[in-house]
Amino acid sequence: MKRKWFLFYNCLITIIVFPPVNFSVKATNYEVGPQKPYIAIGKVPWKALAPGDSVLIYYQDVPYKEKWVICNKGTSGNPIVVSGIPNNQGALPVIEGNEAVTDTQFNYWNEERGIIKIGGANSPSDTMPEYIIVQNLDIKSAREGYTFTGRYGITNYFKNAAAIYIEKGEHITIRNCIFHDCGNGFFSASQSKDVVVEGCYYFDNGIEESIYEHNNYTGSQGITFQFNRFGPLRENCLGNNLKDRSSGCVIRYNWIESGNRQLDLVHSDHQHIINDPAYNATFVYGNILIEPEGAGNSQICHYGGDDDDSLQNYRKGTIYFYHNTIVSTRTGNTTLLRLSSDDETADVRNNIVYVTESGSRLAILNSSGTANLQNNWLKTGWQKSHSNPQAEVNDLGNNVIGEEPGFRNSSGQDYALEGSSVCINKAGPLAQQCFPDHSVSLEYIKHQRYQNRYADTVADIGAFEYNPGISIYNNYTKPNLIVKGTWNYPNPFSNYTMIYYPETNGEKISITIYDCHGRIVRTINPGKLLTNRVIWEVKDNFGKVVSGGLYYYQIVIGSKIVNGKMNIIK
């Protein structure tokens, strides 16, 4: 029976609404909100933040109209966390830029560029911020036409102001935030490094009639986007959805809908980024890319460079584009890829590229570069190019050609595969450059969530793997089963994870961790616990560090049972 429950939880979604995280026993929580020690965010002693500290911003009925800068240094094991605490209905605390005030403890440059800024200040002292997590905040209204009160009094935002602006910083994680009504939703500059943006929602950003402001505009040395939802920009805004100039760019398991282009992955003007070996390889996989009617440019993805005077700085490498599901409902032409020059190559495998118009409306390339196709589903009548019939598009075999890929409910934007889909068991191997870091192990769940991709003998084409077993959409209940409020973070992890569970109300609790064979590895803190979380430092009952792989946990709270799973990466 226990094994049956584990199999069910193989299909359970992962929730991307994270609680505050404190890894250090000496860490301090600075609580902000009604009836909390700090009424205003700006009254927190930001200069004093140390590794492991958290600033907890509680939901209130009116927005926090405040701006601030973060210049602190956390550590890998003890990051500094700025975390919103949602209300009982899950609403995130709102940080509004319009008419916001910068507290007098802050003195920093580029105030006009963002609401929450990371790095670049006179006060607090200028440092290279490290190991910062910002999560669970709804951040809005920083763009041309809005004002704030800062060190120069009432000041206008720049057109390109962002909800979060990273001027400089390393090992920065932005998680489960909402970015809207800004010039750029999220912005990172060239002195940022190792940035992760996950589980966030972008929409309604941009500037009317301008091509220079986007839902996302980033240029970091190493950046990963995962589990995010990108919606349309504001009406009459001409920017792209995800524009990036980074090295080491990874875009995986996202929902990206509309924009002038869904993806605009172009050159950097900063030599340390251009010289990074990761500059010449970009990985785009497991995404759902949607091109609606009237969205702007007909190209889904642009890769290489966007300024003819900077041709020497173009990426001149390979975009590995695989296991994506692309859907275009535009009545005109749709082009999958624009490669900026003949020095760019696209390795295109295991994608569904579907247009609702006739297949002749679908082209693979704009004109330049080389695209190598293998094991994709393509609409009957697809073209190499609408502008250059001699475009170098190489059909390497095993592509599936048809009229319909077999979506479960296309009109409802459910692009999972139905059981009769021709895409099932038709995927091929990936390029060796995709392993081990960029194999496809997860899939996106609407919205801002993910689950493990079903492990099949032969993979399916597209962003979703057909699962003939239990559906995660089933309303599956059992009297002694709790689902909500239980997860672990980080996951995957290497050295430790925090296991969260529902409030116990004083009931007896036991936590048992099993390996993938169902053998007991560790029993943690049996008895009664007053908190709703425990740390597992990846050790067994004998104090020995366990190996990497898949593990399960079972929490028994009185007569109730909670199950979950986690991955250790070594």
- Per-residue pLDDT of 396-424, as tens digits, reads 999 999 999 999 999 999 999 999 999 99
Length of the chain counted residue by residue: 570
pLDDT-derived band at 13, boundaries 50, 70, 90: very low
Query: At residue 227, what are phi and psi to the nearest 5 degrees?
Result: 65, 20
User: Residue 310 has which token pair?
Assistant: 């900077």
Mean pLDDT within 307-322: 95
pLDDT of 539 over the 90 cut = no
Q: Which of 93, 62, 210, 229 is nearest to 145 (CA)?
A: 210
CB–CB of 288/318 below 8 Å? no
56, burial (CB in 10 Å: exposed 0-12, middle 13-18, buried 19+): buried
Question: pLDDT tens across 253-279, in order?
Answer: 999 999 999 999 999 999 999 999 999
Mean pLDDT within 164-172: 98
Q: Beta-carbon neighbour count of residue 444 at 10 Å?
A: 24
pLDDT given for residue 451 in this prediction: 82
Q: Is the dihedral of CA 568, 253, 238, 243 positive or negative?
A: positive
CA dihedral defined by 275, 279, 280, 286, rounded to 10 degrees? 170
- Which CATH code is given to the segment(s) 487-568? 2.60.40.1930
Mean pLDDT within 148-152: 96
CB–CB of 284/324 below 8 Å? yes
pLDDT given for residue 17 in this prediction: 43
Q: What percent of the chain has pLDDT above 90?
A: 72
Q: How far apart are CA 385 and CA 57, in angstroms?
A: 51
Question: pLDDT tens across 197-240, in order?
Answer: 999 999 999 999 999 999 999 999 999 999 999 999 999 999 99
pLDDT-derived band at 518, boundaries 50, 70, 90: confident
CB–CB of 260/215 below 8 Å? no
CB–CB of 509/532 below 8 Å? no
Question: pLDDT tens across 479-513, in order?
Answer: 233 334 457 777 888 777 877 766 666 677 788 89
Q: Which of 380, 319, 368, 321 is nearest to 340 (CA)?
A: 368
Identity of residue 218: T
What is the enclosing helix (H) or strand (E) of 7?
A: helix 2-9
pLDDT given for residue 523 in this prediction: 83
Mean pLDDT within 24-33: 81
Q: How far apart are CA 54 and CA 31, in angstroms?
A: 8
